[in-house]
Amino acid sequence: QGAAALGLVAALQLWEVSRVHPHELSFFNVLAGGPAHGAEWLNDSNLDWGQDLIRLSLELDRRRPAEFATVAYFGGADVAVSCGRCRVFDPLAPSLSPGLYAVSSFIWTEGPELMLFQGDKARSSGYQHLRSVLARYGEPLGTVGYSILLFRLPPEGSPQR
C-alpha cells in the first residue's frame, strides 16, 4: 500500500508540473493556488527572471504587429533586447498616455513599497501612480506567462471601470 500511495503522489506531482510547462519558473502547487497565484506568496526573483519578456514580444506580434507597449519591469533581463517594440516605463517621469501597458508582477504587487523601503520616494511615487491609474482605469487584458500583466489604458475621459 505504501508503494502504491507513493506512486500516486509521484504521478500527481508529475501531472502538476507538466501542466505548467513551459513556465516551470512560475510553478506553485495547487495548495498555493497554482502558478496564477504564485505572486501572492513569493515574488522578486522567485517568480520574475525576465522569462516572459520574449513571450511578451510574441504576444504583441499576435495582437497588433505595429503596436508598442510600455513595460514596467523588475528583473535582470534587458527589455530592449528581449522586446524591441517595448518602451520602458520611467517612474521618475510617470506620464501615462493611452495604450498598452505590460507590468511585471513584482512591480504590480510590491514595486512602490520596495522603492519606498529603499528610500527612493520619487520612484515609489511613480510606480504607485502607474498601479493606481491602471487599477482604476485600465482594462485588464490577461497575462503573459505568469509574470507579466497586460492592461489597456483608454484615452482620458473614457475610463473602463
Residue in the structure block whose three cell numbers are 507590468:
103
What is the SS3 assignment for 99? strand
Beta-carbon neighbour count of residue 11 at 10 Å? 10
Q: pLDDT by residue (tens digit) across 56-105? A: 888 888 877 667 889 998 777 788 877 877 888 999 987 899 999 999 98
Q: Name residue 160's beta-bridge partners.
A: none
Residue 121 has pLDDT above 90, yes or no: yes
Query: Which of the two residues, 134 and 32, has the higher pLDDT score?
Result: 134
pLDDT at residue 28, as a whole number: 66
